[in-house]
Amino acid sequence: TKDVLILGIETSCDETAAAVVKNGKEMLSNVVASQIESHKRFGGVVPEIASRHHVEVMTLVVEEALEKANVTMEEIDAIAVTEGPGLVGALLVGVNAAKALAFAFQKPLVNVHHIAGHIYANAFVKPLQFPLLSLVVSGGHTELVYMPEDGVFEVIGETRDDAAGEAYDKVARILSLPYPGGPHIDRMAANGEDTYKLPRVWLEEDSYDFSFSGLKSAVINLSHNMAQRGEEIQPENLAASFQASVVEVLVGKTKRAVEELGVKQLVLAGGVAANRGLRQAIEDTFVDNEQLDVVIPPLSLCTDNAAMIAAAGTVLYQQGKRGKMDMNAHPNLDL
């Protein structure tokens, strides 16, 4: 059979990304232009600045992705683009670029959900096996997603307030660490110990939902109370205590879902999947489970990129799913 070449485009947040992927698993190129430096001084992503940066570099990023893959637009089978969720102005830049290319080169469009992309990042490691469970943890999402088969997604649990990455970034701010704070907390936690008593929020016994805002408030209260008493907080230990609480709940709920649903494969996904504490805990928890295949994506594929969008797009393309030429950006799109 003929090879399938998909051009992926991703602009949902603060990375402008394009990639060329062959047969849904071979990365011919993966170009990511990060805007982190432009947002750092504001302590978070500023939507208006994000859109403007995407517009400035979108064309260059696509050209570079094609060039690095040594592929022309004529050879591409379809263009896969993130239609949501994300910042509407940011998403629109990628969607419009994809539509323009689809129109100019007469190529089909495939609309991809950002979280589907994060999950399919694991297809670069090894073939996905179903039924599958994915723990999706990013700056905007914390979800347990059950997949009975390729291209079918059931969200069995999600956060009721802050996403895990959001909690990391907020706690990092309390510790005066630069944006995005997740990687800094991760590094500090490695040199600290779980000495501060922070809550584990499990919600109802049978729920797969998460809640991290209470944990964030507990960290704020703790640091205020200690400051009032004139005591100094030990930042490494606070980072380690916070991380221990997040990881314990994430892994605990994942373990229960793995057992109750009897899945064949567990895959980690999203920016927080880069977290060393979480990766280690997942490995340790399931090392003895011989029925379960555990996939943890390489660090470069955890955070936002377009190769993952092209990989998910390949499956949808092969299933005959197409985006319309009048497709729009959907900031609150459901999986």
Write the binding mask 191 to 230 for Zn ion: x where contact by CB under 5 A, - elsewhere: ----------------------------------------
Q: How many residues bind ligand KG4 (CB under 6 A)?
A: 19
Exactly one of 51, 142, 211, 275 binds ligand KG4 (CB under 6 A); which one?
275
Q: How far apart are CA 212 and CA 83, in angstroms?
A: 27
Give the residue among 178, 163, 254, 253 at the shortest CA–CA distance from 212: 163
Size (the chain), residues: 335
CA–centroid distance for 172 within its chain: 19
Q: β-pairing, 15-22 with 5-10?
A: antiparallel
For residues 297 to 326, the per-residue mask of contacts with Zn ion, x marking binding by CB under 5 A and - elsewhere, is -------x----------------------
- The residues facing 29 across adjacent strands are 20
> Rounded to an integer, what distance in angstroms lies between the CA atom of residue 106 and that of residue 214?
51
Residue 167 CA to residue 199 CA, distance in Å, equals 14
- Select from 42-50, 229-237, 268-276, 290-298 the region that touches ligand KG4 (CB under 6 A): 268-276
Q: How far is the CB of 163 from ligand KG4 (least distance, A)?
A: 7
Residue position matching structure tokens 């007469």: 106
CB of 30 within 8 A of CB of 307?
A: yes
Binder of residue 169, out of ligand KG4, Zn ion, none (CB less than 5 to 8 A by kind): ligand KG4
- Residue 218 tokens, joined: 């507990």
Identify the helix (H) or strand (E) that includes residue 22: strand 15-22
Site for ligand KG4 in 153-192 (CB under 6 A): 165, 168-169, 180-183, 186
Residue 95 corresponds to which amino acid? V
Q: Which is nearer to ligand KG4, 28 or 269 (CB)?
A: 269
138 binds Zn ion (CB under 5 A): yes
> From the list Zn ion, ligand KG4, none, which binds 272 (C-beta under 5 to 8 Å, kind-based)?
ligand KG4
Residue 136 assigned to a binding site: yes
Annotated binding site: 114, 118, 136-140, 169, 182, 186, 275, 304
By the criterion CB under 5 A, which residues form the site for Zn ion? Answer: 138, 304
Residues found near ligand KG4 in the complex (CB under 6 A): 13, 138-140, 165, 168-169, 180-183, 186, 270-272, 274-275, 303-304
